[in-house]
Chains A and B, each alone.
Chain A
Amino acid sequence: MPSVAGGIAAVAVALAIYAGSRGLRYFDAALVGYATATVFLAFGVTYRYAVWVSAPAARRYLLRGWQAFFSWRNFRSLPTAVPRSVLGYLGFQTFLRARGRGRWIAHQLVFWGVVLATLITFPLTFGWLAFFSDTASGPGYTIYVLGFRTVSFDALSLVGWMVFHGLDIAAVLVLAGCGWFLWRRFRHREATTGQRFGYDFFPLIGLVAISVTGLLLTFSSWLLEGRSYDFLAIAHMATVVLTLVFIPFGKFFHVIQRPASVGVEIYKRAALERDGVFPCRRCGEPLEAKAFVSDLKQTMDELELGFSEWAETCPRCKRVLRGQAYLDTVKRGFR
């Protein structure tokens, strides 16, 4: 089943490339490696995603998330919930600030760098985005999106410079962020505890390699009159392709996974608003939203954990009850 989903996704991306580039008319043949990697990426990500959401807890939350997302009632009672979640949670990642200011800033740098690069490169690779000069040698350029003519600009203007150097800017942002993360991986005891090369270092190395080879491309065309350009282009492509293919299997999968939790956020908030809080069976202190508790119990039952009723008791009371049971039935004193 996940393989079928993956296959469908791969075919869909291939078709979209074909259609979006108007039958490959706007497709840049030099980028064929990237395009192929993307098709594989689509397969891998979808496969992995399908495996992920087939587990009871993830499936239930995916369902609840989309229900909450499309709920007219939620929209009326919490009209700003979705955009605020997307912006604050996915965009500015305020929860990371609580985990540490340095971590937050570094992650924001990497995040916006990657977003910028993605917005430029994927459409460019697919031929969805193309630049044609108005005259033979510039400086006037026109941007074509999905084959439609959009704006024209002067390549020598500031805007023009930024458009042509968008990827360089992205690379600098990513390098700055990765630099902090790497420093932390070497020096900070919090990070060095239990870190794994494949899981923790490889993604950072991938990002750094992509950024460095990309910047070298610019350096080559700018100062070396294009020397080594072809080699650098292949090296850059290799780093990108490797990193893309890695996405479904390592740390980067959180990029795919994380947006789903926006739905969970909204679901929990809406559920709390709708039918209130579940009080702990023992102490009566608020535990969680009622719907959350019943959903968790269902999940636990599906997993055949035979103690789903226990989820209605707060963690502290669970511990105290276990302790009292120990005193009452195992031993009261030292022996």
Chain B
Amino acid sequence: MSDISYPVVAPGVGDFRGAGGAEPAAQWKATAAGERLVPTHCSFCGVQCGMYLRVMDGRVIGVEPRNHDINKLRLCPKGVVAYQQVHHPDRLLSPLMRDTRDGPLHLVSWEAALERIVSEIRRIQSTYGRDAFGVLGGASMTTEKTYLMGKFARVALRTRHIDYNGRLCMVSAAAANKKAFGIDRAGNPWADLLETEMIIVAGTNIAECFPVAMQYFWGARDRGAKLVVVDPRETAMARTADEHVALRPGTDAAFYNGMLHVIARDGLTDERFIAEHTVGWEAVRDTVAAYTPERVGEICGLDPRQIERVAHLWGRARRCWAAHGRGLEQHLQGVENVLSCINVTLATGQIGRPGAGYGTLTGQGNGQGGREHGQKSDMLPGGRDLSNPEHRAYVAGVWGVEEADLPPKGTSMHEMVRQMADGEIRGLLGMCNNPFVSLPNQAVVRAGYDALEFHVQSDFFLSETAARADVVLPSTVWAEDEGLTTNGEGRVVKHNKAVEPPGEARTDWEILCELARRLGSGDKFPFTRPVEILDELRVASKGGLADYYGITYEKVEATGGVFWPCPTLDHPGTPRPFEGGRFYHPDGKARFVAVEWRPPAEPPDEAFPLRLTTGRTVAHFLSGNQTRRLPGLVEQTPRPWVEVHPSLGFADGDPVRVVTRRGAVTYPALVTEAIRPDTVFVPYHWAGAIAANVLTIDALDPISKMPEFKVCACRVERGQAVDPVPEPPMPPGEHPYRPETTPLGDPRSPTSPQGRGTAES
């Protein structure tokens, strides 16, 4: 990758830390005899920090920082303890099964479990049709597994109903990127940030969701960059920002339109870039003309002067960067919100150069790789389109099936849940997801799953969703398998295997291959090692937008990771896909898309006067199945809370009942001035009666089908007592591991959104 010119050394890394390459610093002598270090990456978020696992006697005994190009030794609190999942006492070690839909789970052999699954698949598909059996995947699996999910659904099951949990995570950004750029990829590597002069971060609490990515933002500020944070809460990042734009949840498109209004009005656009590299500016210019700062201030609840200031900061800087996260994307108009942001970057030509960048911050570890290779309802490997006959024919050829046998595109994750309730989908295979926590409107989700005739779920801890399944298959954690993931930058890295799976646990790809064999498609799934899956994937993606053909394990390990597209074996990868203003539409130009702001699905009214928004906290990850069992993280943040402004009249720790049209939960109050008075916040990592999805609305973006997690109407009232935290589910007769130091059901709220201080036991 010799032609990459961006700086590879982040701030704060001098020679004294001199680690790098395959081994940590040479002087590190504390490695006792018999211990080895396995280089790999984190199991959690889309940053994909490098780390070493310390392995002794077939056990992972700890973690050692790794000077990988992405994270330069740094880790977040989740990354540090990720290894504790491996030998956790709560691991599922053998299959579980229930004999009737409402009977108890009991231990069962793999043979019996697989037999039952296959006969149920056959029964359901022959009785109700192929599409009556659905598959739901996830984006925390390696790319090899996500590829196999799609192939399994379309070749072994031949069902149209496959989707994945990225539907809750990245699809709005993906759809908008596709519309604007013709490709779904971040515009720049994060190291480009160090050369920027002005950063606008919208709807992402980077300090808590992607702590290790912070080094790039702080590095830019050390070099003089201005920072603007758009968020209804004053997050740890927003606290020190040059401008904190505390807009109302659900008004992002109006804000960006307002910004662009000022930029266009004051002649700060890059007319040359617009003329040479874009299509559709006139319509956008005419649209934003109506978004005067005064009007936008009214919509967003902002001081119009702040909109002017931010627009000028952006318009007058030479190199600007726009980043966003779920706060922009999980809306009824999530795709349009993203497009309104892209409009600003395109109008000012701030993309595709060092320091001039754009990108969404992917949530899941393999959020990017997981959506590219065919487990999404409308996609085939290589970012190919399931509705495009040429694409279908190519992939069918790789798979050795008839193009006509490939099912048409299916529906999105939440739509599938509704189809379950309607009896359209009767059986389900779930892997790497926990919709009972992650999907909105829990009652609807439960109703859907309850209506299934047969449900099989694989996981390594018994998730809330797995606890409802008819068959639970014990799968592996990331350290027990190898494979590729693609981080938020579009950089492909490799996870390595550190230890053998415990008990009878099997990798998800082994499970899929075995099921395929029993379903009669064994010849299409002859894989014995992940590299064999990768080799097929490389061919299947060849020539597609997400071209992985040139990416091999060796190449990834020999570099700091390879940026796709990488079409040939000697190709260095593509860190900046839009370099030189080249985009991926046939004419090579980017598209402006005019966006009108629309109110959220459920605007506040008299009965529900406040806006509820949801999000993450640093100590937990997504549905919490991986983190709610790890003692240090539970100690840091033992329970959810509701964040309210002091003007609402509550004191810290008061039981506050949050009520929406869908349900009510009583949380302890965290009273802080760092949130808008008209907005309340609840973190979403917990399950059952205290889950945020008791409250959230299942309105979907019409384009991306992403649910509107970030805003719905609510009211708060004084509650009786805070609702207790339920124990994590366990197989019958077993109790979850919980050391004395981490008591469950602590009714107090944390001191700060990041958790409880260390001295507050």
Contact = CB atoms under 8 A, between A and B. Distances in A.
B759 interface: yes
A334 B30 contact: no
A187 B30 CA distance: 11
A315 B759 contact: yes
Contact of B32 (A192, A316, A319, A333): A192
A319 B218 CA distance: 25
Contacts of A193: 30
A193 B29 CA distance: 10
Nearest to A332: B240
A99 interface: no
B757 interface: yes
A189 B32 contact: yes
Interface string B19-40: 0000000000010100000000
Nearest to B29: A192
B197 to A, nearest CB: 15
A189 B30 contact: yes
A333 B757 CA distance: 20
B221 interface: yes
Nearest to A317: B759
Contacts of A187: 32
A324 to B, nearest CB: 14
Nearest to A334: B240
Interface string B201-242: 000000000000000001001000001000000000001100
B30 A333 contact: no
Dominant SS among interface residues on chain A = helix
Contacts of B240: 332-334
Contacts of A333: 239-240
Interface residues of B, number: 10
Contacts of B757: 316
Nearest to A315: B759
Nearest to B758: A316
A182 to B, nearest CB: 16
A268 B608 CA distance: 57
Contacts of A319: 759
A184 B618 CA distance: 37
Interface in A171-194: 187, 189, 192-193
Nearest to B62: A189
Interface string A85-111: 000000000000000000000000000
A326 to B, nearest CB: 13
A66 to B, nearest CB: 35
Interface string B746-761: 0000000000010110
A316 B30 contact: no
Contact of A316 (B221, B227, B239, B759): B759
A193 B760 CA distance: 29
A316 to B, nearest CB: 4
Nearest to B757: A316
Given A316-B757, A319-B759, A333-B239, 13 more contacts: A187-B32, A192-B30, A192-B32, A193-B30, A315-B759, A316-B759, A316-B760, A332-B240, A333-B240, A334-B218, A334-B221, A334-B227, A335-B221
10 nearest A-B pairs in the assembled complex, by CB-CB distance? A333-B240, A334-B240, A316-B759, A334-B221, A189-B32, A189-B30, A333-B239, A315-B759, A193-B30, A192-B32
Interface of A: 187, 189, 192-193, 315-316, 319, 332-335
19 contacts: A187-B32, A189-B30, A189-B32, A192-B30, A192-B32, A193-B30, A315-B759, A316-B757, A316-B759, A316-B760, A319-B759, A332-B240, A333-B239, A333-B240, A334-B218, A334-B221, A334-B227, A334-B240, A335-B221
